[in-house]
Structure 1
């Protein structure tokens, strides 16, 4: 089969690789009909080389049709249309029963002290082959699939794999409700959905991003938008100087406005893997400009919810400010299955209130993935969300 593979920093190629096969009784093989490039895939493209091997298959936003099932699969049938959550969990352990599927005790990557294994996402999360391919092996398939209908296009369902529940969790963790003022930092795919979900909950939403096309998309959903440099003044005006009730950081570790850490990223990327790995695991390697801005502009007693990915273990935080302002921080890898019961009915509604069909800006054949990684990373050509079509 053809698959999108990592070959080195900013080096992506589509290669012929062996088809996946049933390895455990609970496995299923999915024929992929749509698979997306996620903003967190760009961290692999740019930074996470020390935890990848050449030839690793990328991708963790996937849906398709069941082609084959193992003898232990009980709830799936061949020909069924499914979405595949990006985290791999068992649904039965202590963590899963409490809605913390991203911490599944059966699939935790104990070698690196990490939570549940993920599709297509480095040794830190199990080095499981990803879904930017013609076929995908899904372990524990009874639980790690979301059966969906057949009448709606893929884009109405695909984002249930990651970015829609990630945004929903970010908004829920922020405690956003009707009448609140919510600030969303970053209007990539997760930020777009976070702003829409917050507005759907009845909040007044302001969102910041440096890219005009991203701001224009958010405005279609009643969101007040601004450039990141304008955030302090915009929030002060929006809230009569009090500050936002809640902030969702949908930017993460590669935020603009942190030139020193950006230089460190470049330097670490040039080191041998054996040297770079411990530096990335233990150093403060995150560009925290967006997070620090969120802390500055949230009101006293407010909440900052972090959906963007951070990886540094020594990142400095303004503890005096956090304590003095009584700020609550909530964060974490999304627990996809926890939110599907709320989100699937919204995705299937005729009026599509969260705009699941209004996010994809580029739908291209799998072979165009290398070029689209570059376009997405450089924020060129109005690129907000890329969906790859293995059948084209």
Structure 2
């Protein structure tokens, strides 16, 4: 039966292998790291598992420490995160990249700068850490801060602002969608005498495409070719998307063939872009053909390969068959996969598939995030199951996740427990 598919998801997940302490087999490093990541929405359980693994004799690596620091930073537990940094004794550049990322995501720019200075205690206040700091700020909408701190004439950065730093700022303006500022900064790079590399051109080409001017991105791509610049897969993928937005999937296919002719091997992102463009034009059969081609070329499909197809399909059975194929092919669904499918079936009013994907999420070792809870609650409210939805809303709040305000629930405090016997059998793991 299709509903037994959750068992297949569980068997293909590395977290479901027998790992244990005492007289059992030794804990696998990959399984420990994946488990910490799966508790990304429940920091207390992540810490509990981390210490439990330690008690079983597992020796934590920098990767597992960094994984837990990332989870703690997500919930603003920075004091505990720094205690872990002191405990690991030999943090690396990745440790500070995680810290910068979480401080910037929390809009704590001053704390991120202080963390950069604290890196000196570990001999890591160097150019690589400086690049991580700038990148984290630009990744989280603090491009103006990065530019004011490190690129203004009256400021003296701790290390020279090279092409890499300028590329990060350019990318940051592009992510913000400030297209006029992006074009201005592109000109300022020339005025400052900053040498533009292939990455600079790829970023600006993507910005032009996203700004609604894909024909200018294609023009820049041709300019790059005329200058004899050796293009990599990233540049070709950007040009392919721009060509698709400008002239449709057929024009993108010409860039795809040109990429192959010039000896640059298409990667997963290339095929995902083609699948997305074909799905946007309703050419589902051709999109599925690209999915088969990925396997033939030794480039296995990723979760993103399937997401465009899931969005394109309009028949429940076809979606379930494709999900079956995804798991059978060894592609592990992501949280985005489950949220996408739960929302789709929830809008259609099909609760059984919604709960199937909810359970499959748990079977893969994932802890539901706020988007997953909201997708489930929205589906329940659409069917009028207010009390059951209130139960999951409370569970979501207990985990420290942000819940959407909903008029169906009224006041959030003092809400009664679930008492509706007609829908209590839907509760996952509920003991009667």
Q: TM-score range by the shorter chain?
A: under 0.3
Comparing both chains, which one has the higher relative contact order based on Cα–Cα distances under 8 Å and sequence gaps of 6 or more? 1
TM-score computed with the length of structure 1 as normaliser: 0.25
TM-score computed with the length of structure 2 as normaliser: 0.24
The answer to which structure has the higher helix fraction is 2
Larger radius of gyration: 2
